[in-house]
Amino acid sequence: MELQVNDWISLKTLEPLDDEALFLETDKSRNHLRKWLPWLDGIQNVSDSRQFIEYSIQLHDQRKAMIFGIFADGQLAGTISFNQIDWQNRIGHIGYWLSSTYTGQGIMTEAVRRLVNYGFDDLALNRMEIRCATENNKSRHIPERLGFTEEGQVREGEWLYDHFVDHAIYGMLSRDWADK
Ligand SMILES: CC(C)(COP(=O)(O)OP(=O)(O)OC[C@H]1O[C@@H](n2cnc3c(N)ncnc32)[C@H](O)[C@@H]1OP(=O)(O)O)[C@@H](O)C(=O)NCCC(=O)NCCS
């Protein structure tokens, strides 16, 4: 499945043949990603990335989650996902990362805008949620730029290797997005 973002960025569901590119981008950006994401130590070789892709295909088939590769000029630049889709309450929980080669160009803001449009228009979701560590300013700028509301903070909401971080919760409702 593919969602076109603009003339040079697209979101494509990851396939097993993306395993090498996914591992290379992850490994190259390990330090930058490890600061904010909890799973880096579990990705040590291409086969770990392949297992992740296979698991993400299962989740997609079960409609529990949707994980897309972000492709910029055809190259894998990172991922964006509905980490969880709560169908009962029609909520999409969004997560994302970019390889350090691709940051600072507005790629993720446009990718999130596309995923939110897809979630509201095609999946009939009602609410999008993004949680960022309070000190992760680069990540917080994304929902802020897109007009999400900061709804509150959760103390010690996530364990990152050797410490807890607080989370800021951002929400967007379908009716407010439609106004934009
Ligand atoms: C979070 C993360 C994806 C943000 O990446 P990013 O490159 O800052 O985000 P975007 O692709 O939307 O780019 C926006 C930045 O590019 C700048 N930019 C430069 N040229 C631009 C252009 N042509 N259009 C738009 N923005 C541009 C913007 O000013 C902005 O920088 P700022 O936040 O300092 O204002 C990235 O830092 C990352 O992967 N971090 C590690 C993993 C992580 O934290 N994940 C989120 C967990 S909640």
Question: Residues 43-54: pLDDT tens digits?
Answer: 999 999 999 999
* For residues 8-12, average pLDDT: 98
The per-residue pLDDT for range 20-48, each reduced to its tens digit, is 999 999 999 999 999 999 999 999 999 99
What count of other Cβ atoms lies within 10 Å of the Cβ of residue 80?
A: 25
Instruction: Indicate the average pLDDT of the chain.
Output: 97
- Domain membership of residue 121 (yes or no) is yes
Given a cut of 70, whether residue 106 has pLDDT beyond it is yes
Confidence band for 127, pLDDT divided at 50, 70 and 90: very high
Domain hosting 78: range is: 2-126
- Domain membership of residue 168 (yes or no) is no
Number of domains in the chain: 1
Counting residues of the chain whose pLDDT is more than 70, the rounded percentage is 99
Q: What is the pLDDT of residue 180?
A: 57
Ligand 1 atom 44: residue of nearest CA:
36
The per-residue pLDDT for range 60-80, each reduced to its tens digit, is 999 999 999 999 999 999 999
- Domain membership of residue 34 (yes or no) is yes
What count of other Cβ atoms lies within 10 Å of the Cβ of residue 164?
A: 12
CATH number of the CATH domain containing 97: 3.40.630.30
Confidence band for 179, pLDDT divided at 50, 70 and 90: low
- Domain membership of residue 67 (yes or no) is yes
- Domain membership of residue 73 (yes or no) is yes
Q: What is the pLDDT of residue 178?
A: 79
**Cα 110 from Cα 115, distance rounded (Å):** 9
d(CA 95, ligand 1 centre) in Å:
13
- Domain membership of residue 132 (yes or no) is no
Q: What is the pLDDT of residue 174?
A: 97
d(CA 88, ligand 1 centre) in Å:
32
Q: What is the pLDDT of residue 107?
A: 98
Ligand 1 atom 34: residue of nearest CA:
138
Q: What is the pLDDT of residue 12?
A: 98
- Domain membership of residue 164 (yes or no) is no
> How far is the CA of 169 from the CAs of 3, 128, 131, 145, in angstroms?
26, 10, 5, 14
- Cα torsion at 98, 100, 170, 58 (round to 10°)? 30
Residues within 6 Å of ligand 1 by CB: 32-33, 36-37, 96-98, 103-109, 132, 136, 138-139, 141-142
The per-residue pLDDT for range 151-166, each reduced to its tens digit, is 999 999 999 999 999 9
- Domain membership of residue 153 (yes or no) is no
- Ligand 1 atom showing the smallest separation from residue 109 Cα: 12
